[in-house]
Amino acid sequence: MPVVPTAVEKLVTQLARLPGIGERMAARLVFHILSEPETYARQLARSFEDLIEHVRFCSDCHMVCDGEFCGICRNGSRERDVICVVERVQDLLAFERTNAYRGLYHVLHGVLAPIKGVGPDKLHLPSLLTRIERDEVQEVILATSTDVEGEATALYLARYLASTSVTLSRIATGVPLGGELEYIDPNTLTRALDGRTVMG
C-alpha cells in the first residue's frame, strides 16, 4: 500500500520537474495547497487551464500573448526597424521595465547549449531572418546573456545574419559577466543598451 494517495504522489512528481523545485519542495507545496480552503486548489487548476486555453506565442516575436500577435508587435508607436534579440520572455520583461527601449523584440526561447542538446534548430532563428527582410529592419541588438552560452549564441547569430545588411550590435559591459538579465536593475540594463557596440 502506498503511504500517500496516488493523486498526491502524482502532483509531487509533476511539480518536482519544475526548475528549482526538488521533490521535497514539491511535497511542501502540495501539502500547503491541501491545507488551504478547497477554492484555492480549484482556482489554481482553473489558472492552469486558462494558461493552456488562452496563452500562446506571438507569431512574429514569440512573446507570450493571447492573440496572434503580442501587444508590443501590435503597438503602432514602437520603432519597427530595430529588434532586440533576447533568450527568454523574462529578459524581454526586464528590458520593458527600463522604459528606455522603444523597438521590437525577438525571443529565442533558449540559447545554444550543445551539451544539453540545444542546437540552432531549437531556437527561433528562421523567423528572425524573415522579419529582418520583410520589415526592412536596420539594427538587431543581440541581448543574450553574457555567460558562455549567451556569448556563443550571439556569435552564432552574427554569422547567421551576416548575409543581411542589418547592423548588429551587442549589449555593453555593465551587465555582469555570467549575469542573467532578468535580475539586473533597470539602470544598469539601460546603460548596457545605450552602450551597445556594433559587431565587426
Task: Fill in the per-residue mask, 15 to 54: x = in contact with Zn ion (CB under 5 A), - = not in contact.
Answer: ----------------------------------------
**Which of 110, 116, 4, 128 has the alpha carbon at shortest distance from 59?**
128
Q: How many residues bind Zn ion (CB under 5 A)?
A: 6
| Position 168 contacts Zn ion (CB under 5 A) | no
Among residues 11, 26, 30, 61, which is the contact residue for Zn ion, using CB under 5 A?
Answer: 61
- Minimum distance from residue 135 beta carbon to Zn ion (Å): 12
| Position 142 contacts Zn ion (CB under 5 A) | no
- Minimum distance from residue 71 beta carbon to Zn ion (Å): 8
| Position 58 contacts Zn ion (CB under 5 A) | yes
Instruction: Dump strand ranges (E) for 15-118.
Output: 56-57, 64-65, 82-86, 104-107
Query: If 0-12 CB within 10 Å is exposed, 13-18 middle and 19+ buried, where does residue 158 land?
Result: middle
Instruction: Dump strand ranges (E) for 75-162.
Output: 82-86, 104-107, 139-142
Q: Which residues bind Zn ion (CB under 5 A)?
A: 58, 60-61, 63, 70, 73
